[in-house]
Amino acid sequence: MKVTKLLHTRMRVSDLDATITFYTAVLGLEVVERKTSPRGSQLAFLKAPNSEELIELTCFPPSGPVRVQEDLVHLAFQVESLDQAVASLTEQGIPITDGPTQTSSGSRFIFIDAPDGYEIELVERPAGVKIV
């Protein structure tokens, strides 16, 4: 067997509407589909510009509280300007939890927290840099 493509990453959240608002208003992602699964989970699929892979958000209160394990999972998004990202986040009252940090390749990054404690990395890469 050989997989052919990464389709989506699923994240369980406690408040689907608040989480959608964060990803759309703060990060600029687009909701491409929203539905209820056969077992009753509320689902939303989000897409980042210039990406094919989706983020699947799911809310299913009978599963109990959402517990995000520290340092286990984060999503990384590329930004054109880290300085502009920091200014926008500051204006929106979103705290930066780590950084800015510069790598040996010249990339710069920061971390912020999404609802439920999921960590988000925002990366600015210099022209020609392909790997974080």
The DSSP bridge partners found for residue 121 are 76, 111
Give the three-state DSSP class for 74. Answer: strand
Active-site option among 53, 70, 119, 121:
121
> Annotated catalytic, 121?
yes
Per-state percent for the chain, helix, strand, coil, to nearest 5: 20, 35, 45
Beta bridge partners of 60: none
Instruction: Report, as residue numbers or ranges, the catalytic residues.
Output: 121
